[in-house]
Structure 1
Amino acid sequence: MAALNDLLPQAAVRLDVRVADWREAICAAGGLLVETGAATDTYTAEMIRNVEENGPYLVVAPGFAFAHARPSPAVLRTGMSWVRLEQPVEFGHESNDPVQLVVGLAAEDSGAHTAAMAALAQLLADPATARALQDAAGPEVLHAVLAGPEGEREREDRPRDEEAVRERAASDEPASEQTATEQATADEGATDQAASGQPGSARAVHTILTVCGNGVGTSLFLKNTLEQVLDRWGWSRHVTVEATDTISAKGKASEAVVILTSREIARTLGEVGVPVRVVEDFTSGPEVDRILRDTYDV
């Protein structure tokens, strides 16, 4: 699978771009995809139409929009672009506006860029690395942050660090702060329930769907965050996470225990026979952790 830096060449990076609104922001990201040979101008129009039809669900985290559309003939090869705006703009998202970083994705299919999406989600979930990316002085510095091996090892370890998880949870929602002892006790309870065989446990292989409008972009971000939480719980062998689109999700809903998605996509899905839980920040492990604990009553 393609690595993040392979899909995001330095020529596809623009910093401190001035735009008037979200459409111009997407045009800036789409223009870089065209310049680097990943897509045609038609794909930029498709990305804009995706927001017009499905809402601003692609604003997956505070200040960050992941612009993309379905694979189509307008995609020439899988590639990405990176646009940091001089001044943030509103996309219309209830909690994650305004947006200052727009990453564009042109995907030939739903599989070739999975590893790159997982890497990007982990980068943006780490506050220190996210700040380094936000403050990068130029494309070369940005690439160095994306590829840094030391940072890579640190990001792999950090989701398993109780202290870091607790600090991030406190910053997301101070009222729900837990001590390390309380967190460890809760994790033990989750593991016990997984092994208990009781209804709602994870002894059998459960399926959780992460859903976006196209199944190739934001749902992969959320899938990665969810898998990180499941790995920390020790539930990875018991729960399968599948990223999919709204149409496929309706057909697969009966096989799932819960669907995780954005507020906009939840409205589109409607009643599907299983719980649909809204995630505001697709890169936030603590938020997904809370939703899982509520779903499994642990």
Structure 2
Amino acid sequence: MAALSELLPVAAVTVDAPAADWREAVRRAGDLMVATGAATDTYTAEMIENVERNGPYIVIAPGLAFAHARPSPAVLKTGMSWVRLARPVVFGHESNDPVELVVGLAAKDASEHTAAMGALARLLADQDTARALREAPTAQAVHDILRGGQEAGAPRQAAARGGGELHKILTVCGNGVGTSLFLKQTVEGVLDRWGWGRYVTVEATDTISAKGKANEAVAILTSREIARTLGDVGVPVKVVEDFTSAAEADRVLRDTYDV
């Protein structure tokens, strides 16, 4: 699997970029992925359409939007971009606006970027590192921080209990390859700290698939916008406001398991 610094080269990073509104902010993230050969302009339009169709669920933490769309022919190779805005813009999110950082993702499939997403989730969950990234003066400085913190190791895999079945938690977004995968990494980190990694598996998926898989899960974790889209699926649907926050994931998991 590709490392974070490979998917997010210096040429795909910009700081203090001007943007009049959220569409222009997403467009700037898309332009960088076009410039580095990850996607075409069509994919940029698909990212904007994703927000228009599903709402601002891509704003996964205060000040942070994770722009992406479904894998499509417009994605040439898996890649990412990093746009720190000169002035924050409003996406319409109830709690995480305004946005000052847009991370773009163009994914060829749902698995190639798993390790990179895990590394990024860990970096942004660390307050000191997140602050350093937001304050880095140049694209090279951002990339140096990302490269220094990308040691991800092998993707975590839960092992079944002897003679028993794993509990399953679904993390859900509109496309199943971006924000849901990011939340999966955060939730898995909490479960591993609890020592529950061998008992609970976390699967990232999209809204359509989640409705069919709900009966396999003990709970669904997602954004407020996606929770409204899902409606009643027969299992608890828990809203997470900050996908980078281990503390919030811990709270939601404790509520799920009543511990």
Match of 1:167? none
CA RMSD, 1 decimal: 1.5
Distance in 2 (alpha carbons) for counterparts of 1:229 and 1:28? 33
Q: Does structure 1 residue 59 correspond to structure 2 residue 59?
A: yes
Pairwise mapping of residues 104-253 of structure 1 onto structure 2 (< 5 A)? 104-148=104-148, 204-253=165-214
Deviation at 1:233, TM superposition (A): 0.8
Pairwise mapping of residues 26-105 of structure 1 onto structure 2 (< 5 A)? 26-105=26-105
Structure 1 unaligned regions, length at least 5:
157-194, 196-202
Contact 2:116 2:150 in 1 (8 A): no
**Poorly superposed stretches of 4+, deviation over 3 Å:** none
Match of 2:218 among 232, 244, 257: 257
Of the two, which has the highest radius of gyration? 1
Contact 2:4 2:150 in 1 (8 A): no
Q: Does structure 1 residue 286 correspond to structure 2 residue 219?
A: no
Distance in 1 (alpha carbons) for counterparts of 2:105 and 2:37? 12
Q: Secondary structure at the match of 1:91?
A: coil
Match of 1:5? 5
Deviation at 1:204, TM superposition (A): 4.3
Structure 2 residue identity aligned to 1:42: T
| Deviation digits for residues 113-137 of structure 1 (CA, Å, limit 9, x no counterpart) | 0110111111111100001101111
Contact 2:172 2:204 in 1 (8 A): yes
Structure 2 unaligned regions, length at least 5:
154-160
Q: Secondary structure at the match of 1:250?
A: helix
Distance in 1 (alpha carbons) for counterparts of 2:22 and 2:8? 21
Match of 1:297? 258
Structure 2 residue identity aligned to 1:60: I
| Deviation digits for residues 210-264 of structure 1 (CA, Å, limit 9, x no counterpart) | 0000000000110011001101111100001000000100000000000000000
Distance in 2 (alpha carbons) for counterparts of 1:235 and 1:209? 16
Match of 1:14? 14
Match of 2:231? 270
Deviation at 1:92, TM superposition (A): 0.4
Q: Secondary structure at the match of 1:81?
A: strand
Query: Kindly, what percent of the aligned residue pairs are identical?
Result: 74
Distance in 2 (alpha carbons) for counterparts of 1:47 and 1:143? 24
Number of aligned residue pairs: 250
Contact 2:117 2:181 in 1 (8 A): yes
Contact 2:64 2:101 in 1 (8 A): yes
Provide TM-score, normalisation by structure 2.
0.94
Distance in 1 (alpha carbons) for counterparts of 2:173 and 2:107? 14
Structure 2 residue identity aligned to 1:80: M
Q: Secondary structure at the match of 2:61?
A: coil
| Deviation digits for residues 23-58 of structure 1 (CA, Å, limit 9, x no counterpart) | 000000001111111100000000000000000000
